[in-house]
């Protein structure tokens, strides 16, 4: 068993005792454990460009937390100690609510604040791994939807594993237990945990990736240009959005290098295939709508839903209604014209914002061939 020295400095003694603004500002000063999955392309929520943007502006705190997001955060934080203590009882360990944010003194630009620790109170084999009395195990608690939880019962999320490996490296630990809960109260069906391990390869590659990201991207203010994981579309959109903030609009046209030709040709071929499939989807949608018209007429204006029972199945059809307040472009133009002072006030206070959309296109056009006529008598 490899044991590492605790080479870290405490940045915040208790992350729950400080304001969210202070916590976010401290996160900007280094790569944190939850940033790492995005940097290596494993996050479905953020891209390397998003992390880059966050780090290059140390004073900007632009994270907007909706009521739904706040509720999700609060439930997750509330269940962390419950998951920690329950797993501790099952594996024979002492639960420790360690809420410090620490910075590695061994590996530059790396910080982590964890959900807790297990301290083994006896020697024991857990899930095939030998643990010893007094050994510390990192804890990561995740509260998730029931649908995702069913996936996590089989295997942990690769993004959570990457985050845990980063945290282990910063804290000088070899193992982590990731506990998942869907919020239910049945221990057998609503809680599961997995053990992940820090390898020699992790100790080599993680600091190298972090150092490369910080020194080549953050310190030089150069956005990442390559998508490492499966979320290339999100990466591309984030990069287009970032570059659009400082893009020149003086009409200059770049002369592309020759190596761009096969890239463009591949892009055009894929775009053509996407267009063909979209056409097929539209045809299927038209066919579906034609088939469903009699069902719509059966409901008419008297019923919102209907069911059909058979021996082995139940079918349900119905209307779903949603309401959303919106301000149209015409309404804004009218407000600006009739109530200019009110309009300017709403703009100044951020209630009315101008969103600039920037897309990327690849096109081809046949060039007309020039022919040279021979002069008579030549």
pLDDT tens-digit profile of 109-168?
Answer: 999 999 999 999 999 999 889 999 999 999 999 999 888 999 999 999 999 999 999 999
At how many degrees (to 10) do helices 340-348 and 329-338 cross? 120
Both tokens assigned to 216: 């080549």
Burial of residue 324 (number of CB atoms within 10 Å: 0-12, 13-18, 19+): exposed
Residue 253 tokens read as 């046209």
Burial 85-124 (b: 16+ CB within 10 A, else e): ebbbeebebebbebbebbbbeebebbbbbbbbbbebeeee
Q: How far apart are CA 154 and CA 194, in angstroms?
A: 9
Nearest residue to 149 (alpha-carbon basis) of 186, 114, 96, 121: 186
Spatial separation of the C-alpha atoms in residues 58 and 26, rounded to whole Å:
9
CB 271 within 8 A of CB 362: yes
The answer to whether 50 and 36 are in contact (CB under 8 A) is no
What H or E segment, with its residue span, contains residue 85? helix 67-91
What are the tokens at 326? 């919106």
The one-digit pLDDT tens for each residue of the chain (378 residues) are: 444 456 899 999 999 899 988 999 999 999 999 999 999 999 988 999 999 999 998 777 766 667 777 888 888 888 999 999 999 999 999 999 999 999 999 999 999 999 999 999 999 999 889 999 999 999 999 999 888 999 999 999 999 999 999 999 999 999 999 999 998 888 888 999 999 999 999 999 999 999 999 999 999 999 998 877 778 888 888 888 888 776 666 678 888 899 999 989 999 999 999 999 999 999 999 999 999 999 999 999 898 899 999 888 899 999 887 777 777 888 888 988 998 898 888 888 878 877 767 777 878 887 776 666 666 555
- Which residues touch 329 (CB under 8 Å, ≥6 apart)? none
Distance CA 157, CA 163 (A): 10
DSSP structural state of residue 35: T
Length of the chain: 378
d(CA 150, CA 189): 10
CA gyration radius, the chain: 28
- Percent helix, strand and coil across the chain, each rounded to 5? 45, 15, 40
The Cβ of residue 210 has, within 10 Å, a number of other Cβ atoms equal to 23
Which pLDDT does position 242 carry in this prediction?
Answer: 82
* Separation CA 198–CA 178 (nearest Å): 13
Task: Tell me the two tokens of residue 169.
Answer: 């490296």
pLDDT at 1: 43
**Residues 224/54, Cβ–Cβ less than 8 Å:** no
Backbone angles phi, psi at 102, to 5 degrees: -125, 155
Residue ranges per structural domain of the chain: 8-213
SS3 81: helix
C-alpha to C-alpha distance for 11 and 238, rounded to whole angstroms: 30
- Tokens 């962390």 locate to 80
- The pLDDT of residue 64: 63
- In words, the CATH class of domain 8-213 is alpha beta
Of 82, 77, 81, 66, the residue nearest 23 (C-alpha): 77
According to DSSP, residue 140 is labeled E
DSSP class per residue in 198-258: --HHHHHHHHHHHHHHIIIIITTT-------SS-HHHHHHHHHHHHHHH---S-------T
Contact 140, 148 (CB under 8 A): no
Determine how many CB atoms are found less than 10 A away from the CB of residue 75: 13
Instruction: Give the whole-angstrom CA distance, residue 109 versus residue 117.
Output: 23
pLDDT of residue 235: 85
């Amino acid at each position: 068993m490899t044991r590492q020295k605790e080479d870290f400095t405490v940045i915040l003694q208790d992350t729950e005792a400080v304001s969210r603004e202070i916590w976010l500002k401290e996160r900007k000063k280094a790569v944190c454990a939850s940033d790492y999955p995005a940097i290596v392309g494993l996050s479905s929520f953020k891209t390397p460009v998003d992390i880059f943007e966050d780090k290059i502006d140390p004073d900007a705190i632009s994270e907007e937390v909706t009521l739904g997001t706040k509720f999700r955060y609060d439930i997750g934080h509330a269940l962390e100690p419950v998951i920690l203590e329950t797993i501790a009882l099952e594996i024979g360990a002492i639960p420790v609510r360690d809420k410090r944010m620490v910075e590695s003194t061994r590996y530059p630009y790396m910080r982590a604040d964890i959900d807790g620790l297990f301290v083994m109170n006896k020697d024991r084999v857990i899930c095939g791994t030998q643990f010893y009395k007094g050994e510390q195990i990192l804890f990561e608690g995740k509260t998730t939807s029931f649908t995702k939880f069913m996936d996590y019962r089989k295997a942990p999320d690769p993004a959570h594993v990457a985050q845990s490996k980063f945290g282990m490296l910063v804290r000088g630990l070899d193992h982590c237990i990731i506990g998942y809960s869907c919020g239910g109260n049945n221990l057998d069906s609503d809680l599961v945990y997995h053990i992940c391990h820090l390898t020699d390869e992790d100790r080599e590659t993680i600091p190298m990736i972090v150092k490369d990201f910080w020194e080549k991207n953050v310190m030089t203010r150069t956005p990442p240009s390559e998508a490492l994981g499966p979320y290339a579309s999100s990466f591309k959109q984030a990069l287009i959005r970032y570059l659009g903030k400082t893009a020149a609009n003086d009409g200059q046209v770049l002369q592309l290098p020759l190596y761009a030709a096969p890239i463009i040709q591949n892009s055009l071929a894929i775009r053509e295939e996407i267009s063909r499939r979209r056409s097929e989807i539209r045809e299927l949608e038209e066919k579906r709508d034609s088939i469903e018209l009699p069902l719509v007429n059966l409901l008419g204006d008297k019923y919102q839903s209907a069911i059909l029972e058979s021996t082995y199945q139940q079918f349900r059809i119905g209307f779903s209604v949603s309401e959303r307040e919106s301000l149209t472009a015409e309404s804004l133009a009218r407000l600006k014209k009739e109530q200019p002072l009110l309009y300017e006030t709403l703009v100044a206070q951020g209630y009315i914002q101008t969103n600039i959309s920037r897309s990327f296109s690849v096109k081809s056009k046949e060039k007309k061939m020039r022919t040279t006529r021979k002069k008579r008598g030549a």
